[in-house]
Amino acid sequence: MNALLIAVFLPLAGALVLALVRSLALAGWLNLGFCAGSLAAAVWLALQILRGGDLTGDGFHVDAFNVYLVVLTALVGLTTAIFSRPYMAHVCRDGQVSEGRMRLYHSMFQGFLFTMLLALTTDNLGVLWVAVEGATLATVLLVSLYRTPESVEAAWKYFILCGVGIALALFGTVLVYFAAQHALADVAEGLSWSALYAGADRLHPTVMAIAFVFLLVGYGTKVGLVPLHNWLPDAHSEGPTPMSAVLSGLLLNVALYAVVRFKMLVDGALAATDKAAVAGHLMMGFGLLSFLVAGLFLHRQRDIKRLFSYSSIEHMGLMTFAFGIGGPLATFGGLLHMLVHSLTKSAIFITVGHATHIAGTQTIEHIRGMIRTQPAVGWGLLLGVAAIAGFPPFGVFTSEFLLLSATMQSWPWLTTALLFGLVVAFAGLFRHLHPMVYGKAPEGQQPVAANMLPVMAHLGLVLWLGIAIPVALSRWLDQATFLITGSHLL
């Protein structure tokens, strides 16, 4: 329990401390330090869970499913902090951001991590909602950090759309609580996920089905599911790059995590009725739609960060689809995909940060010849995109292959749609990528001081996962699969 409390509340302490620290250099290092501490505690927590099983109590619930996301969140938080320190210092020197706003940035970065970790570990569905809404509030000012008209517009859209979505999710939560009051002996436990899960078969099926629609639409807005995805490219492209990395790598995952948790409850409640798979079908529909639409949208992007945020929508769609199918194979694939997508996408956004720094713009047309100007950034971009597009040695290939097999098993016809979407997305990414990496560099383009360590670490991990998943990790994911679907894959 100590490890859990340290992992979750250290970022909160960080948010408070960093709000007071005036020195910019010190704040950067402190930010890094808090993230490192949080990661250490998260790893410690993971080891405890692996040895001792689930941890429930004091309003928290940690099992194999969320502990791996906790570690992932803390890890991506740390690597992004490593990248953010010199990058934001540079931004500040450029005069785009005042020092007061840098304090806000550092404080809210930690605040965001806190809400993410709280959302992951809490047992209370109401607190889950509060934390996810808190994540919006923490990041909305970061999206508008540069105060350009575009960034204000992006932040406004983000705020309004996510606010509306999350309000619908609260309505769903109220409905769940309503159902719980009629099913559980102890009404006070009506929002406790573990109590609800234990008594899921007694929950009123119709109420739960209606609630799930609201929850899917609500949290789905945060996942970036089409047609509620509009905020995502705007927020990613206009916010500072480290923010794009954590939004794509973490926030979307956490929202999807919430949807999956609720799906587990709904599946339990509907198991005995004739509409047992309705939650899964809804998720499959939304997921597939997002996957295909985002793939097509990749082709018409002119802004490099928008390009990759559409790629995020595409992959989130794929994961939603996977969890919608629901069997052990698909769920295992979905969990693995969550992991590798987070790692790869945050690596890509970090590289993109350097690339835009070199080119001085985010417009794809003007980013040219990266591999000539600065080979490390060029290679990082190339490998990152290769990984995210699903090239074989990388982990994304493994998870997508698992998903395709699972689809082949239960919905053979949909395999064509998936393959089509993958090809379209692949083409969309590479038609933009090729000139950016290999094109003729504009004259006078200078390399910048880039810290490629986080990128290397992430891509290295993804490569490792693609070649051989460590036994411990596969056991771990299998345990999570067992929690979600009720049967083991391995």
Residues that bind another protein (CB under 8 A): 59, 124, 126-127, 129-130, 133-134, 137, 140-141, 144, 147-150, 152-157, 159-160, 163-164, 167-168, 170-171, 174-175, 177-178, 181-182, 188, 190-191, 204, 206-207, 210, 234, 237-238, 297, 300-303, 306
In whole angstroms, the minimum distance from the beta carbon of 328 to another protein comes to 32
In whole angstroms, the minimum distance from the beta carbon of 362 to another protein comes to 10
In whole angstroms, the minimum distance from the beta carbon of 156 to another protein comes to 6
Token pair, residue 461, equals 């991990």
**Residue 163 or 435 having the CB closest to another protein:** 163
Q: What is the DSSP string of 409-459?
A: HH-TTHHHHHHHHHHHHHHHHHHHHHHHHHSPPPTT--------HHHHHHH
**Residue 129 or 332 having the CB closest to another protein:** 129
62 has which bridge partners? 55
**Residue 75 or 215 having the CB closest to another protein:** 215
DSSP 441: P
Angle between helices 252-270 and 205-223 (to 10 degrees): 170
Question: Which amino acid is present at 457?
Answer: A
Question: In terms of Cα–Cα distance, which of 123, 118, 227 is closest to 165?
Answer: 227
Question: Which amino acid is present at 300?
Answer: R
- Report whether 61 contacts 193 (CB < 8 A): yes
**Residue 276 or 448 having the CB closest to another protein:** 276
In whole angstroms, the minimum distance from the beta carbon of 154 to another protein comes to 6
In whole angstroms, the minimum distance from the beta carbon of 197 to another protein comes to 17
**Residue 154 or 433 having the CB closest to another protein:** 154
In whole angstroms, the minimum distance from the beta carbon of 131 to another protein comes to 8
Q: What is the DSSP string of 365-390?
A: GG---HHHH-HHHHHHHHHHHHHHHT
**Residue 274 or 443 having the CB closest to another protein:** 274
Question: In terms of Cα–Cα distance, which of 67, 49, 164, 187 is closest to 120?
Answer: 67
* Secondary structure class of 303 (helix, strand, coil): strand
- Report whether 104 contacts 146 (CB < 8 A): no
In whole angstroms, the minimum distance from the beta carbon of 97 to another protein comes to 14
Phi/psi for 145 (5° steps) reads -60, -35
**Residue 99 or 150 having the CB closest to another protein:** 150
User: Cα dist. 416→278, 384, 429 in Å?
Assistant: 23, 26, 20
- Report whether 101 contacts 213 (CB < 8 A): no
In whole angstroms, the minimum distance from the beta carbon of 297 to another protein comes to 8
Buried b (16+ CB within 10 A) or exposed e, 127-146: bbbbbbbbbbebbbebbbbb
Give the contacts of 182 (CB within 8 A, at least 6 positions apart).
204
- Cα(269)–Cα(266) distance, rounded to whole angstroms? 5
Question: Which amino acid is present at 271?
Answer: A
In whole angstroms, the minimum distance from the beta carbon of 272 to another protein comes to 15
User: Cα dist. 340→326, 348, 389, 397, 488 in Å?
Assistant: 19, 12, 12, 10, 21
**Residue 123 or 478 having the CB closest to another protein:** 123
**Residue 122 or 331 having the CB closest to another protein:** 122
- Cα(261)–Cα(254) distance, rounded to whole angstroms? 10
Strand segments (E) across 239-362: none
**Residue 313 or 339 having the CB closest to another protein:** 313
**Residue 124 or 485 having the CB closest to another protein:** 124
In whole angstroms, the minimum distance from the beta carbon of 8 to another protein comes to 15
In whole angstroms, the minimum distance from the beta carbon of 280 to another protein comes to 20
